[in-house]
Amino acid sequence: MNSTAFFLGKGGVGKTTLSSAFALTLARRGAKVLIASLDPAHNLGDALDISLNGKVKTVEPNLDALEVDLAYWVDKYLDDSRKQLKANYSYNVTLNLDSFFNILKYSPGTEEYAVLWAIEDIHCRLGPLYDVVVFDTPPTALSLRFLSLPTISGLWVKELSKLREKILAKRQTITRLNPESPVAASCVDKDDDKVYGQLNTIGARLRKLEQLFAKESFLSVIVNPDQLSVDEALRIQDELTKLDIPLSAVCVNKQGVSDMVWEQNPSLARYPQFVYDFSRGGISTRENLLTIGAGPIADHFLKIVQNPTTERKKK
């Protein structure tokens, strides 16, 4: 068993609480679990009653946790690129490089990519050490952007690869007809062309993440018995459908928080439902998390993980 679970939903619906309760339930049943918070405004440590940072920390036997430091991932990525650039370019071209990278740090999309790199690192480096990896996600906007990035960026990479192939094919023709042309001195083979190679590497990484989100993950959306969180859950469902990412369950949290009559939206009602009553006393300790009753969703998750094809076909 080795699988990944994501809990999505509007800010404040209880993603951290439910994902912590889910992770703790699985850990107490004997599975080795890692829970990672991707939310830039972390509160996973508060839910688990332990101080966390970007490094893996043992919460209790079988349960480890970390809060992803997005600033670290942005810096690390830009630093790697800067070093690579300095190594490949001539000295005079890289004189003003630092100011360029300082601007890039704040360019749109960098934070979403930082989340992706963090997920990739957790999945590839830490994933094999655990039975289950649970992600507590940031609010909807950022979550949807990082979930869609592998598909959107994959399209760009695919088209750029095609264009590069065309360039290489033209270079090959020129070299064949006129070996003395200056073009003959440049790369003509796909295997030798570093840009084409790099496009392939990026493409492979993005496909792996796309596969992780669409085929190997358990995605649960959390709603409260109110219209706003349901509307947002419907938007999440729409976006995930467009990306071909299946939703595995719907959690209705804080049931009974008000006396208002509420009925689940039919579009969300077709997924397995897990209902959690509003805890009037609050959740103040780690043991309180177990009183939420994450057992049924843990059972459903294990059923999907142990028999993925049948369960996905049923959906």
Partner 1 sequence: MPQSFGHIIKSAIHIAAQINRERATGLIEFEEKELENIFALLILGGFAGLPSPPPPIANELLPYMEKDLLMLLSRTDLAQDPIGVLAGMFEMG
Distance CA 302, CA 182 (A): 61
Distance CA 274, CA 292 (A): 11
Who contacts 191 (Cβ-Cβ below 8 Å, separation ≥6)? Answer: 197
Q: Which is nearer to partner 1, 106 or 309 (CB)?
A: 106
Q: Which is nearer to partner 1, 177 or 261 (CB)?
A: 177
Least separation in angstroms between CB 78 and partner 1: 8
Least separation in angstroms between CB 215 and partner 1: 23
Query: Which residues is 34 bridged to in the sheet?
Result: 64, 133
Decide if 39 is catalytic: yes
Distance CA 47, CA 268 (A): 27
Least separation in angstroms between CB 128 and partner 1: 25
- Strand ranges inside 143-229, DSSP E: 217-223
Among 224, 5, 11, which Cα is nearest to 135's? 5
Who contacts 132 (Cβ-Cβ below 8 Å, separation ≥6)? Answer: 1, 2, 3, 4, 5, 23, 26, 31, 32, 33, 34, 301, 305
Least separation in angstroms between CB 110 and partner 1: 6
Can you give the binding site for partner 1, defined by CB under 8 A?
Answer: 77-78, 81, 84-85, 87-90, 93, 104, 107-110, 113, 149, 152-153, 156-157, 160, 163-164, 166-167, 170-171, 173-174, 177-178, 180-181, 183, 186, 194-195, 197-199, 202
Q: Which is nearer to partner 1, 108 or 128 (CB)?
A: 108
Q: Which is nearer to partner 1, 176 or 303 (CB)?
A: 176
Name the residues annotated as catalytic. 39
